[in-house]
Amino acid sequence: MDLIIPWLATASRRRRWLVGVSGGADSVALLHLLVKAGLQRLVVCHLDHRLRGRASTADARFVRHLAATMGLPVEIQRLDVACLARDRNESLETAARRARHEFFAACAQKHRCRRVILAHHADDQAETLLWNLLRGSHGLKGMLIEQQIATDAGPVLEIFRPLLGVRRAQLRAWLMAQGLRWREDASNGEAVAVRNRLRHEVLPLLDEIAGRDAAAMLLRAAAADEEARAILAWALDQARPIDPQGRLHLPSLRQLPPPLQRAAVLQYLRDQGVAELDRALLGRVMCLLDPAGPPAVNLPGGARLRRREARVFVDFSKF
């Protein structure tokens, strides 16, 4: 069997790429697919989270050996993520994600390459869509095939996820058909972390209730939502609710239907880099369109959205 990955047909063979490899089936399949496609200027990047004792050490050893057999340079770092989570008062998942971004940023600086290829696949996408819905996100918000991520102390990373259209089972079947080995992370089978509980408890239950593959339904719904977003982007471009100074123009905004008003405000906040956007915050922000409403609304991160002289804008000054 073979896997068709459209992104690989356009990826530059002459550029250098960083590749996140945990040693698990998904990232091992990704690395083999990249090499098979002719991408030779790869740097294998592995972060040992030190969460599984000797198994974590064995994962790192496996990745080092895999890179050596392919003739690829490898960067391996050990970091006590559990200790980091306690020090930063973060969840283990948040601390691990932040640690990975910092590790990739360090690799990017060392190798003068900001491009990072990750092995997130379609099942990961379904879990992300479901989790973001549960958190109250606006619409079906999933991972992007290409995305830029800012890091605390380093360059802006260019993230690439070429496997988002491939199911987990397909990747494992391909590895077995090729006779390739990988490492199993026993913690992935434990229903402890949020993603693991979605994977092992929630999605199987939805499969049973619906009598069909719930992940596939989520992915189809996300594809339809993406088409709707494209139409919405076109409508906003036609509406032109932003003035030449980059502020929301209230007279133009008030002429739009309410759904398009909300979409314009939401897009403006995203463009301004405002994080943690949800329906509750958007509801408070929409009150600014009413002349009798409050003149300002607090935003995450200490900023405010202000209404002044028929304009609405983000005020980042400290109070």
Q: Which residues pair with 117 in a beta bridge?
A: 19, 160
208-226 pLDDT tens trace: 999 999 999 999 998 888 8
pLDDT digits (tens, 9 = 90+) for 271-311: 888 877 777 888 888 998 888 888 998 888 788 899 998 99
Q: How far apart are alpha carbons 74 and 33 in whole angstroms?
A: 17
Of 150 and 51, more confident: 150
**In this structure, is the dihedral angle defined by the CA atoms of residues 264, 267, 268 and 269, taken in order, positive or negative?**
positive
pLDDT at residue 239 tops 50: yes
pLDDT tops 70 at residue 189: no
Confidence of residue 1 (pLDDT cuts 50, 70, 90): low
Number of neighbouring beta carbons within 10 Å of residue 101: 18
- pLDDT digit string (tens) for 68-119? 999 999 999 998 888 888 888 888 788 888 889 999 999 999 999 999 999 9
pLDDT one-digit tens code per residue, 14-28: 999 999 999 999 999
Structural domains of the chain ordered from first start: 6-207 (3.40.50.620), 240-315 (3.30.465.60)
Instruction: Judge if pTM exceeds 0.75.
Output: yes
